[in-house]
Amino acid sequence: MSNKNKNKNGLVYSTNPDFSVDSSVPDYGVTLPPQQQNLKVFLDKKLRAGKKVTLITGFNGTTADLEALGKMLKSKCGVGGTVKDGEIMIQGDFRDKIIELLTAAGYKAKKAGG
């Protein structure tokens, strides 16, 4: 079975006619204030042909607020990126700069991973 046919929770088939798979990232009703956010910033190279990407995870809030934070970080770093699956991906290794920007904006952010 190919990976595109599998969903993340491993469900293959259900006999319940009312069952629906919700594979989207949960959209929280309210966004926590920056002081209550515990963001983790780490470098990732997996499945990216050796290219480095800075990932920011741990955001609790609405998708619109996450996208706004991602847009701010991308513009401050002057690079591209995306907001997908509840994570912000910034092209390149900008861990130190992103942690500096997030703490200046009032977020609790720390470096994670290797």
Q: Which parts of the chain register pLDDT below 70?
A: 1-12, 21-29, 114
pLDDT confidence of residue 33: 82
Arithmetic mean of pLDDT over the chain: 82
Which phi-psi region, left, alpha or beta, contains residue 109 (left: φ > 0; alpha: ψ -120 to 50)?
beta
Contact in structure between 95 and 43 (CB atoms under 8 Å):
yes
Residues 6 or more apart from 11 whose CB is under 8 A from it? 21
pLDDT confidence of residue 100: 94
- 111: helix, coil or strand? strand
pLDDT confidence of residue 28: 57
Residue of 55, 60, 71, 64 lying closest to 107 (CA atoms)? 60
pLDDT confidence of residue 2: 42
pLDDT confidence of residue 26: 55
CA–CA separation, 91 vs 101, rounded Å? 16
pLDDT confidence of residue 1: 39
pLDDT confidence of residue 41: 94
